[in-house]
Structure 1
């Protein structure tokens, strides 16, 4: 069983029906059994807003949806909309695009998002790393995880490329999970990334979720990278699907 816990709709297609078809074709070609689509926080988007993704995948047994949400865009309306979706079981998480948007994960304006996630027992995801890492830096997430220990957080991209720092700072924050999407994006960095990830998985096997960031990254490359990891079969099963099933209540 393989679950890709971090995907987006591909952008190079004329309409959402074709995007969905391309996504499902990619999953079939790569032997991926189930997947999680993450919607944008924008109300209109080439990767799909929450409403657009819901129209494509509502009731789908293979694809589940995580809602993107922004404190800058119709925040109260989006919170209310997400509350209704959560009440009906139509979404399985909420994502904040820290770094893509200029707000810190510790900003109190986001507390209604964390309250909503805690109420419905779903995780909150963060974009991390890359060019604006300070908005969800490991130290910031650590502070948040300690004061919001009733909330589950998913740290997408593991603060790439500085993933060692991420695991060191957040190792004892048991309500923080690591989504490995995008980390196989640069072949030159793979030896160092592989070594760091192998060590971390062996220390915290229940905390890692396989993801590819398909739509902007290669699903095939991430699956190949996952297969190359020197980890036990038990840890591989946790990484490739069991941990995602647990975190997202699949």
Structure 2
């Protein structure tokens, strides 16, 4: 089984505009049209069994709508093929109540993007969110490391992420892009080994230029805490899978990364 834990879709009404804008910023040609139907069709075509649809509240006013849509999609697909996550915005005064509602809606996790939402991962204003998610056993997926949207300011570097892992030991922290995009030496130094830190492989196939460091991280980090991710439509999941399959690691660990760890963390089966 193959489960891609890092995928993005957009509502039909804005998908084309959003994809065009992000393509211009990133310089990457997308592998889907960004719509739910287009992404589902593409994943079926390439053999991905399930994927996590990550949504981001980029403004305080978006969080309710985003979570309503996520709940509707989850009701429609019933954990078959696509599982949609929610989001909150740190500047929305109702963010804590919204986290309770997210849990009541049976949404399995939330996505926060420090660059798009304009915060540093260790900003005190986020602590109430972290504390509440710890209480609710609600995993948080963070963009971590470099991002083309904010190339000169890294809002979630490994050292700051490690500070949060220490401060909130019960919080399930999922750091996309293997702990910090293009910052893997620091991931090895500061993050590898934390029991409450999970990582996905998003964009490794496209951006990783040092396999040795990746292997060192894998050897130091809990085997159950690494999951397949692509960042589709910005990386083709087929390339993400190929990257994992080529790693000099055991077949058992590959199987965990490709599906078993996601099933365990997100209670997918």
After TM superposition, the score normalised by the length of structure 2 is: 0.80
Show CA shifts across 1:1-38 (max 9, x none).
11101111163389xxx811111112112211111111
Instruction: Give the structure 1 partner of residue 67 of structure 2.
Output: 50
Cα distance in structure 2, aligned partners of 1:164 and 1:147: 22
Cα distance in structure 2, aligned partners of 1:162 and 1:69: 26
Cα distance in structure 1, aligned partners of 2:95 and 2:43: 30
Cα distance in structure 2, aligned partners of 1:28 and 1:184: 21
Residue in structure 2 matching 1:152, options 160, 172, 176: 172
Q: 1:217 to 1:65 in 2, by over 3 A?
A: same
Aligned length: 239
Alignment of 1:53-92 (within 5 A): 53-60=70-77, 61-62=79-80, 63-72=82-91, 75-89=92-106, 91-92=107-108
1:195 Cα deviation after fit: 3.0
Moved over 4 A (4+): none
1:151 Cα deviation after fit: 0.9
Q: Secondary structure at the match of 1:76?
A: coil
Cα distance in structure 1, aligned partners of 2:37 and 2:265: 27
Q: 1:172 to 1:220 in 2, by over 3 A?
A: closer
The answer as to 2:188 corresponding to 1:167 is yes
Cα distance in structure 2, aligned partners of 1:168 and 1:121: 27
The answer as to 2:44 corresponding to 1:28 is yes
Alignment of 1:1-250 (within 5 A): 1-9=1-9, 11-12=15-16, 19-42=35-58, 49-60=66-77, 61-62=79-80, 63-72=82-91, 75-89=92-106, 91-130=107-146, 131=151, 134-157=154-177, 158-186=179-207, 189-190=208-209, 192=210, 194-204=211-221, 205-250=223-268
Cα distance in structure 2, aligned partners of 1:125 and 1:144: 13
Structure 2 stretches lacking a partner, 5+ long: 19-33
After TM superposition, the score normalised by the length of structure 1 is: 0.85
Cα distance in structure 2, aligned partners of 1:246 and 1:133: 34
Q: Secondary structure at the match of 2:83?
A: strand
RMSD of Structure 2 on Structure 1 (CA):
2.5
Cα distance in structure 1, aligned partners of 2:230 and 2:175: 14
Q: Is the Cα contact below 8 Å between 1:176 and 1:207 reproduced in 2?
A: yes
Structure 1 stretches lacking a partner, 5+ long: none
Q: 1:78 to 1:216 in 2, by over 3 A?
A: farther
